Amino acid sequence: MAMSVGPSDSGDEDVPMSDINTTPLVDVMLVLLIIFLITIPVVVQSVPITLPEVQNEPTITKKENVSLTVRGGPGGTCEVYWNLTPMNNEQLLDRAVKALEDQIKAVGGVENITDENMPEVHIRGDVNTPYKCIGGTVFTMQRAGFARVGFISQPPPGSTVKRL
């Protein structure tokens, strides 16, 4: 490996240069940039596939959690049930806000809400339910203030549930 030397101010002795050669660094960065530019479009594209069956864990329900059932109704309408009570969008929003306010009062204020006592929304959606029904329900619950929204699924027949 060679070292560059340049003229000194005094004129008679050679002094090592303190400049760093950045050419190899720039070369490596350009190669990485080209690699990422080539591979990112491949990753972003989506191909229609059939997803595998889910292996899920048992749901741990708390009394403050909200259980919703969503299904498609006649004529492209959406049916949403809070436990077994049918709701429209306005009723769902009002009841969700009230449930969240009641939970905040029960724990003694917003400052006492933690991950353990924050209520969750569990949505059970029929397999033939249009996306607009489930998406609208998720949006309504998030508007009400619920931060955690989960989906309940059913494992395929004959599968066993594994605990981690």
Q: Which fold has domain 66-152?
A: Nucleotidyltransferase; domain 5 (3.30.420)
Residue with tokens 């309408």: 77
Q: What is the pLDDT of residue 136?
A: 92
pLDDT values of the chain reduced to their tens digit, one per residue, 164 residues: 555 555 555 655 677 777 788 888 999 999 999 988 887 766 555 545 454 456 666 666 777 788 888 888 888 888 899 888 889 999 999 999 999 998 889 888 888 888 777 888 988 887 788 889 889 999 999 999 888 888 877 666 666 655 54
Residue with tokens 């309940």: 152
pTM: 0.58
Angle between helices 131-144 and 89-107 (to 10 degrees): 40
Q: Do 80 and 87 meet the contact criterion of CB atoms below 8 Å apart?
A: yes
Q: What is the pLDDT of residue 5?
A: 56
Q: What is the pLDDT of residue 58?
A: 64
Q: What is the pLDDT of residue 111?
A: 84
* Neighbouring residues of 82: CB distance < 8 A, sequence distance ≥ 6: 66, 67, 68, 92, 95
Q: Do 92 and 37 meet the contact criterion of CB atoms below 8 Å apart?
A: no
Q: Where are the domains of the chain?
A: 66-152
**pLDDT digit string (tens) for 8-40?**
556 556 777 777 888 889 999 999 999 888 877
| Mean residue pLDDT across the chain | 79
Q: What is the pLDDT of residue 51?
A: 47
Q: What is the pLDDT of residue 26?
A: 92
Is the dihedral angle over the CA atoms 84, 90, 96, 102 positive or is it negative? negative
Q: What is the pLDDT of residue 66?
A: 87
Using CA atoms, how far apart are residues 110 and 137, in angstroms rounded to an integer?
A: 24
